[in-house]
Amino acid sequence: MKTVSIVIPNWQKLPLISHLPAVIRACLPAQAGPGAEIIVVDDASPDDTVKFLKKNFPNVKVVVNRQNERFAVSCNNGFKAARGEIVVLLNSDVAPNPNFLAPLVKHFSDPNVFAVSCLEIDKQGQFSGRNRCQFKRGFLIHSAAPVVAGENCWATGGSSAFDREKYLKIGGMDPLYKPAYWEDIDLSWQAREKYGWKILFEPKSQVFHNHETTNVSVFGQRQMELMSRRNQFLFVWKYIRGRKLLEHFLWLPYHLIFTNYRTKGVFMTALVQAIIKWLKK
């Protein structure tokens, strides 16, 4: 069995400490072969997270960002610190089932596999984790797909396993999307389109995920929608070329009228922010 590291990007003690015991149980040798190391990347939490972890969870490795870097940089720092051949990214609001690792790791016997995503179960009992993408009305649109084993459009950053060597070869997640959203789609796009690697979904690997716990509390729902739409622009400008890029610009007048009205101005604000960020990059 390949060696495994768990990387958890984190900001503040809660909800991390509520779910960390489940992560530890899933990483015991009985569940994870020789056992998996656990790394928490603390993103300059304003509370005593680091001190608390070192005192109460001494077997958990803590990597500390000197300043608040957000998701992409925190993930990248965790991958650099990890010793495992396979790195499993878990959000701090994720609690895995005890036997979730083995179904993930088995896929990496195929040297062409880049990442494998888990089946996520939310507090309403709804399943997610498999997805699909299509280019429609000038944008890459992603949506849920039936939760059966197969290929995925992208590996979700909240509960997926990655080949560490391949991740680092790509260069990790792009901080362009800071503070959040579309980093995992960008990473998966490079893995599939540039290198031809596989991205899979494994429904036997199950985790409980209380979605958006941190981002809602920090940003609020409207700001989250704004960040996602802004980064959707950035993704298109970074990767889409030819006829599809032309379609993107031809659809903009429609979106500036109808989508902007429907989103109560979020679309226009996102476009302006994306232009500013693109010019500064």
pLDDT tens digits, one per residue of 118-130: 999 998 999 999 9
CA distance 257 to 131: 29
In the predicted model, what is the mean pLDDT of the chain?
94
* Structure confidence by residue, pLDDT tens digits, 152-172: 999 999 999 999 999 999 999
Query: What is the Rg, in whole angstroms, of the alpha carbon atoms belonging to the chain?
Result: 19
Question: Among 17-31, 34-48, 228-242, where is mean pLDDT lowest?
Answer: 17-31
**Based on the number of CB atoms within 10 Å of its own CB, is 240 exposed (0-12), middle (13-18) or buried (19 or more)?**
middle
Looking at this protein, which amino acid is placed at residue 173?
Answer: M
DSSP H/E element including 228: helix 221-239
From residue 12, alpha-carbon distances to 17, 25, 30, 68 in Å are 9, 22, 30, 11
Structural domains in the chain, sorted by start: 4-214 (3.90.550.10), 220-280 (no CATH)
pLDDT of 272 strictly over 80: yes
273 pLDDT band, cuts 50/70/90, is very high
Residue 183 exposed, middle or buried by CB count within 10 Å (0-12, 13-18, 19+): buried
43-47, long-range: CB within 8 Å, 24+ apart, which pairs? 43/9, 43/10, 43/11, 43/68, 43/69, 43/70, 43/74, 44/11, 44/68, 44/69, 45/10, 45/11, 45/12, 45/13, 46/12, 47/12, 47/13
Element at 202 (helix H, strand E): strand 198-209
Model pTM? 0.94
Q: Phi first, then psi: what are they for 105, rounded to 5°?
A: -65, -30
